Structure 1
Amino acid sequence: MTAQDGHLYTEQKNIKWGDYLKSGNRIFIGSNAAVPNALIDDLIANSQGLHDIETVHMLTLSENVWAKVEHKDLFKVNSLFIGGKNIREAVAEGRGDYTPCFISDVPHMFHEKILPLDAALIMVSPPDEYGYCSLGVSVDIVSAAVKAAKYVIAQVNTKMPRTNGHSFVHVNQIHSWINVDQELPQIVAPEIDRRTEQIGQYVAMLVENGATLQIGIGKIPEAVLTYLGNHKDLGIHSEMISDGVIDLMLKGVINNRRKTYHKGKAVVSFCIGTQKVYDFVDGNPHIEFYPSEHINSPVKIAKNDNMVSINSAIEVDLTGQVVSDSIGYQFYSGIGGQVDFVRGASLSKGGKPIIALPSTTKDGKISRIVTHITEGGGVVTSRGHVSYVVTEFGIASLQGKSIRERALELIRIAHPKFRDKLLSDVRKHYWVPEYQESTPSSVPELGSIEMKRFNFADVNYILRPLAPADERKLQEFFYSHNKETLIMRYNHHITQMTREKSCNLVSVNQHTDLALCFTQKDSLGEAIQAVARYYYIDSINSGEVAFVIKESLRGRGMATALLAEIIAIARIRKLDSLIASVRRDNASMLKVFERAGFIRQASEDFDEVSLKLPLFASTNIS
């Protein structure tokens, strides 16, 4: 296939494999949805005299016939990311190898002859009038393989989309080829179960308008994308995209307008999905495909302000170490681009690296939040890289947290039936002091996810339950108060909030008592801005309510919003009433309670006003 005198010669050729390969060579096989199956079949059919050809590739969506037992003398599998039919079995049985590596480093290994390539077997679109073929739906490490290999052998497929960006290969770079059409493999989005839906809701809560996303394929990514439908001006800088991203682009939710790098463009290295995705990227000027060394470069990723990376895991230990490529000693997938994007998002201004996973295995018998990593398991993302871990039970914020605080945060999002055991286990290693007695508990009455987003005076806040890991935050909140606030709240001027006292205040049994807070993210992390709680009084089936709002934020509606949540939860829990004691000179707080329907009661203390809200008609006010 050559371009000469403006004419393109595309006559069919038979590949003479002996001219390009000999026994013991190493070949690269095209990635993801661009596996050149016809080339592999042709090589197998004409492999007389060839043995021990090492195949290097990452995820390959095909039958992967080269990994079958019957071809073990011809091919030796070396997978950079385990997945696809026959590959996992070959690695597990010792007929294949797994080479762990960051995807961003693979091009370097090709170019520097750490993994020298004798041939690259790839799939391309037919050439255009200028002699350029497109790598189509899989540029990733294919681009580097084309540049590094001694020989490039191509399957020309008219069904391969022509994608824009740095996806082109000129015909003079190709040494031999065959023209064989091949349908691209289609991956249908999986059905989303209830717990995956909750994970998606929590992750979506972390995504701000104007953020740039890296997101993969599978249940959790699809659930996240489902809950981003009301966001605005999102962007894409991602290793891959699938159907869910296309839907949000068509709705205008993803428009790349506020990106700070590749502004106005969605940039990726490959795509996987249904025919809808392949049709959408074909010739689309709004999506550009770039090699992995560009897309996966942490430095380039970090050029996107508000970069959000969303990745999954097999298990996370209580220090924040993330296992993603193995189940014990069984290698399952690979490092892939997880660390590239976690690091890039960490370096981004306003960035958020997120690890999302279900709290248990499918059968619910094994916790995926663990005291220590399963023997044989390997850390992909270190405890120093992790900022957020999300399960169906909430969001654990780990950045800047001590080991003890991390343990408490992660226990809070573990499945409730494992929390006591996790706290007991972690205590053996002295990460949790003796005064930390209770495990985190939940407030399901807040809704399907125990977080709500509020906006006061054009500033976003999160309402959520107070948790044991908030011990230090509550201390900081206390020390931000002025003397007047302390007197109003505690009736005297207290000067110290000890660690033990703070721990006691955040270690709430939320099933009987209730403690909620408003928090705000800033450059220093998450800060508590308001706290509201009630203490349950069993003898009268009532809750005694108390509030503290940061001085500079009063009068914006926070107390009213918190009180409304407390009243709603108390009604669900069938409390007969709520009561409160407020200093007589605290006119603003009295107004909040009385607007909510609280009625003044007789009080033995002249300096305080007693108030009561009957929650059911039969409740006696007096």
Structure 2
Amino acid sequence: MPLKQKGEPVIDWTQYLKSGDRIFIGSNAAVPNALIDNLIANSAGLHDIEAVHILTLSDNVWAEPQHQDLFKINAFFIGGTNVRQAINEGRADYTPTFLSEIPKLFNKNILPLDVALIMVSPPDEYGYCSLGVSVDIVSAAIKKARFVIAQINPKMPRTNGHSFVHLNQIHAHITVKQYLPELPEPEVDQVTEQIGQYVAMLVENGATIQIGMGNIPSAVLRYLANHKDLGVHSEMLSEGIIDLMLKGVINNRRKTFHRGKTVASFCVGTRRLYKFVDGNPHVEFYPSEHVNSPVNIARNEKMVSINSAIEVDLTGQVVADSIGYHFYSGIGGQVDFIRGASLSKGGKPIIALPSTTKDGKISRIVAHLTEGGGVVTSRGHVSYVVTEYGIASLQGKSVRERALELIRIAHPKFRAQLLSDVRKHYWVPEYQENTPTSVPELGKIAIKRFTFADSEYFLRPLAPADERKLQEFFYSHNKETLMMRYNHHATQMSREKSCNLVSVNQHIDLALCLTEHDDLGESIQAVGRYYYLKASNSAEVAFVIKESKRGKGMAKALLSEIIKIAKIRGLSQLVACVRRDNAPMLKVFENAGFIRKPSEDYDEVSLAYTL
């Protein structure tokens, strides 16, 4: 809030403003509260002034009911309880617009601006003030408004980039100190922490990231500490980037656009962040039409966008600005960055959200969208959805595959109902009987990274959505492999058979796979499983490794995980039957401690491992 100054000047608003005009109010942490107070105090005779703005971290006094005769609010992004309440009571309007395109509304006089109310730093020796922590759409408002009125705030940092405005562009100003609003780093609970870990697994070394505000982005940044050569191209900067930049994790060396610079359009945090960006030559602020341009975003290779949602349906549609009919936030930059990351070479657009509401009573992965809920990001834009239960990969997936992937990362107590709901629409065939299950023994994060021969692979449970991947894996085998695994010349892996093999009740049986990620997507390279034998409290183990991946240690890694899980589950023994001429697989089992046992079939070797 503004700090009252003695002899504070009073602006003659009648020179710049008349009833029915449209004003722009500065954004985010740079709301010129002293100007608003000054205008309200000297508003005699003024009525029906339309106030346009995006998120405003302020008491938003102009949205209070007592000022509805003076101000008519039109928000491009809803923030603050009183602004949200005004909209949902019909006293204010919400205009859904991509953040990258709001400047166009001003530039093309679709929403012509009469006055822009902004906050700036004191001018330097050359007469230039800095827009400081909020360049975003403020820059466009300054260029198109008939009059620019500024609150010069000695507490405003001077930021670099395209953040400057000369005094001769400002028609009137007052100097009032105002501490910038602070948003401390949010506390991260267990659910959010797990989401952060999963998202961090999708971020490769050398990637450029976009990060937003809230506990999920904060959690993601915590788990990037061991990454290398990350870059930042983001509409917003938060507190979490500071330590990563100081440690050299974020160094922008491998960026392919604005190399060497952390790029944003605004920042929100505590005084520590505001001090960090003040005069920092390694951080540059640019207008939203530049930072949020999908074309510019895509110029960063390995661009990773991380955004949240209110709910996601089983086809991948994302609701992010409303809860039913109640508008909650806005489109913002989500679609800009989702689209930009999709166009980026090696890019990954990610939607991350908890699987349920805070009270755990409502699933946020839904069979159909809540009535009144609006789609912000279409089902065609989403590549990854992440909850605390894992990563759903949707790119190139059919509706059936998407539904199964998303059910897998839904909260377990809602999975059966979600599967039942999608059956009504024939999205999932009748032979898909089991809901996806997890392997809790793998730990809270049910994906593990492995490196074999300098290439990275992921170990995870097989899931119903892997039906087509398992078919592709089967048809990649040569006749020798098929004979070794199935003991006959198998020639077909039908859709129904593949579905049966991936629809495993992982709480009883076990099926793990090692997958590889490349520009073609994810492919299965190895499968290890066991079948539980209740009568003896034991399990029979089997493996298949892709021919080109043998001898790298994949079977050893899978077997090691299987043994660990079997011990945790209290099994008494693991057994295996291996063709006598399959020397490499026999070696894997024997090196792991399996002992040969008498076999009734001369062509097979029986092995056992006592747990």
One of 324, 327, 333 as aligned partner of 1:331: 327
1:29 & 1:247 partners in 2: Cα distance?
A: 32
Letter in 1 for 2:428: V
Aligned to 2:33: 37
Deviations 1:224-269 (A, max 9, x none): 1111111111100000011101121111111101111101100000
2:545 & 2:185 partners in 1: Cα distance?
A: 45
Structure 2 contact 22–113 (Cα < 8 Å) conserved: yes
**Do structure 1's residue 174 and structure 2's residue 145 form an aligned pair?**
no
**1:531-542 pair list within 5 angstroms:** 531-542=527-538
**Do structure 1's residue 582 and structure 2's residue 573 form an aligned pair?**
no
Aligned to 1:6: none
State the secondary structure of the residue aligned to 1:293: helix
Letter in 1 for 2:219: A
State the secondary structure of the residue aligned to 2:233: strand
Aligned to 1:297: 293
Letter in 2 for 1:133: C
State the secondary structure of the residue aligned to 1:86: helix
2:243 & 2:76 partners in 1: Cα distance?
A: 31
Letter in 2 for 1:110: F
CA-CA distance at 1:361 after TM superposition: 0.4
State the secondary structure of the residue aligned to 2:93: strand
CA-CA distance at 1:13 after TM superposition: 5.0
**1:189-204 pair list within 5 angstroms:** 189-204=185-200
One of 540, 549, 554 as aligned partner of 2:550: 554
Deviations 1:153-189 (A, max 9, x none): 0000011000000000011110000000100000011
Aligned to 1:613: 609
2:224 & 2:401 partners in 1: Cα distance?
A: 30
Aligned to 1:460: 456
State the secondary structure of the residue aligned to 2:562: helix
One of 123, 135, 139 as aligned partner of 2:135: 139
CA-CA distance at 1:92 after TM superposition: 1.1
Aligned to 1:408: 404
One of 499, 504, 507 as aligned partner of 1:508: 504
Deviations 1:57-105 (A, max 9, x none): 0000011100011101000111100012411111111111110000000
One of 590, 593, 602 as aligned partner of 1:594: 590
One of 243, 261, 266 as aligned partner of 1:265: 261
Structure 2 contact 210–232 (Cα < 8 Å) conserved: yes
One of 377, 388, 407 as aligned partner of 2:384: 388
2:225 & 2:170 partners in 1: Cα distance?
A: 43
State the secondary structure of the residue aligned to 1:422: helix
Aligned to 1:564: 560
2:81 & 2:182 partners in 1: Cα distance?
A: 14
CA-CA distance at 1:314 after TM superposition: 0.2
CA-CA distance at 1:379 after TM superposition: 0.1
- Unaligned residue ranges in structure 2 (runs of 5+): 1-6
Letter in 2 for 1:41: D
State the secondary structure of the residue aligned to 2:265: strand
2:136 & 2:334 partners in 1: Cα distance?
A: 14
2:176 & 2:163 partners in 1: Cα distance?
A: 20
One of 320, 332, 347 as aligned partner of 2:343: 347
Deviations 1:569-596 (A, max 9, x none): 0000000010000011111110100011
- Unaligned residue ranges in structure 1 (runs of 5+): 1-10, 616-622
Instruction: List structure 1 runs of 4+ shifted beyond 6 angstroms.
Output: none
1:308 & 1:376 partners in 2: Cα distance?
A: 30
Percent of counterpart pairs with the same letter? 78
One of 277, 284, 302 as aligned partner of 1:281: 277
1:142 & 1:263 partners in 2: Cα distance?
A: 25
Deviations 1:367-423 (A, max 9, x none): 000000000000000000000000000000000000000000000000000000000
Aligned to 1:68: 64
One of 141, 161, 171 as aligned partner of 2:157: 161
Letter in 1 for 2:14: G
Task: State TM-score, norm by structure 2.
Answer: 0.98
State the secondary structure of the residue aligned to 1:238: coil
Structure 1 contact 63–85 (Cα < 8 Å) conserved: no
One of 74, 80, 101 as aligned partner of 1:78: 74
CA-CA distance at 1:492 after TM superposition: 1.1
Letter in 1 for 2:487: N
Structure 1 contact 306–350 (Cα < 8 Å) conserved: yes
Deviations 1:179-230 (A, max 9, x none): 0010000001111111111101110111111110000111101111111111
CA-CA distance at 1:12 after TM superposition: 7.3
One of 205, 222, 226 as aligned partner of 1:226: 222
Task: State TM-score, norm by structure 1.
Answer: 0.97
Aligned to 2:441: 445
Deviations 1:455-478 (A, max 9, x none): 111111110000000000000011
2:148 & 2:467 partners in 1: Cα distance?
A: 60
1:201 & 1:398 partners in 2: Cα distance?
A: 19
Structure 1 contact 157–180 (Cα < 8 Å) conserved: yes
**Do structure 1's residue 246 and structure 2's residue 219 form an aligned pair?**
no
Structure 2 contact 10–38 (Cα < 8 Å) conserved: no
Structure 1 contact 104–297 (Cα < 8 Å) conserved: yes
Structure 1 contact 260–304 (Cα < 8 Å) conserved: yes
Aligned to 2:4: none
2:349 & 2:82 partners in 1: Cα distance?
A: 32
2:287 & 2:85 partners in 1: Cα distance?
A: 29
Letter in 2 for 1:541: N
Deviations 1:255-300 (A, max 9, x none): 1011111011000000000001000000000000000000000000
**Do structure 1's residue 476 and structure 2's residue 472 form an aligned pair?**
yes
Structure 1 contact 62–85 (Cα < 8 Å) conserved: no
2:9 & 2:507 partners in 1: Cα distance?
A: 73
State the secondary structure of the residue aligned to 1:453: strand
Deviations 1:517-558 (A, max 9, x none): 001111111100100000000000011000001111111111
CA-CA distance at 1:14 after TM superposition: 3.4
One of 45, 49, 70 as aligned partner of 1:49: 45
Letter in 2 for 1:279: K
Letter in 2 for 1:267: V
Letter in 2 for 1:448: K
